[in-house]
Amino acid sequence: SAVISQKPSRDICQRGTSLTIQCQVDSQVTMMFWYRQQPGQSLTLIATANQGSEATYESGFVIDKFPISRPNLTFSTLTVSNMSPEDSSIYLCSVERGEFNTEAFFGQGTRLTVV
């Protein structure tokens, strides 16, 4: 298994500002992902965080709005930029070892409210 620490666990932010969310894993992992879960909805994949290179974004998500860093195999950050109330969601970090037939582990999420 993998233990994932996400910070902050929750925050209330003013519109127009940015928030950086951190994801720290207790062991090296090949794959790290960022998800968004809007109120009452399921999880939507934002991007795959690639070590040492630009993240791979899913349709509907762009780097200018959600810049991602991954400096090593145990750490990644997601920034939510120029926030609006529509960005109020839970943001979750997920990791996988990238080996055959293994499961994903999720952090507890960051609950963001934009006012």
Binding site for another protein (CB under 8 A): 4, 33, 35, 42-45, 48, 92, 94, 96, 98-109
Q: How far is the CB of 59 from another protein (least distance, A)?
A: 11
DSSP reduced 3-state for 10: strand
Nearer to another protein by C-beta: 14 or 60? 60
Which distant-in-sequence residues (6+ apart) come within 8 Å of 115 by Cβ? 12, 13, 14, 15, 85
Nearer to another protein by C-beta: 37 or 69? 37
Spell out a b/e string for 93-115, using b for 16 or more CB atoms within 10 Å of the CB, else e: bbbeeeeeeeeebebebbebebe
Nearer to another protein by C-beta: 73 or 81? 73
Q: How far is the CB of 82 from another protein (least distance, A)?
A: 26
Q: How far is the CB of 91 from another protein (least distance, A)?
A: 11
Nearer to another protein by C-beta: 65 or 97? 97
Q: Is residue 22 a contact partner of residue 74, using CB atoms and an 8 Å limit?
A: no
The length of the chain, given as a count of residues: 115
Q: How far is the CB of 67 from another protein (least distance, A)?
A: 20
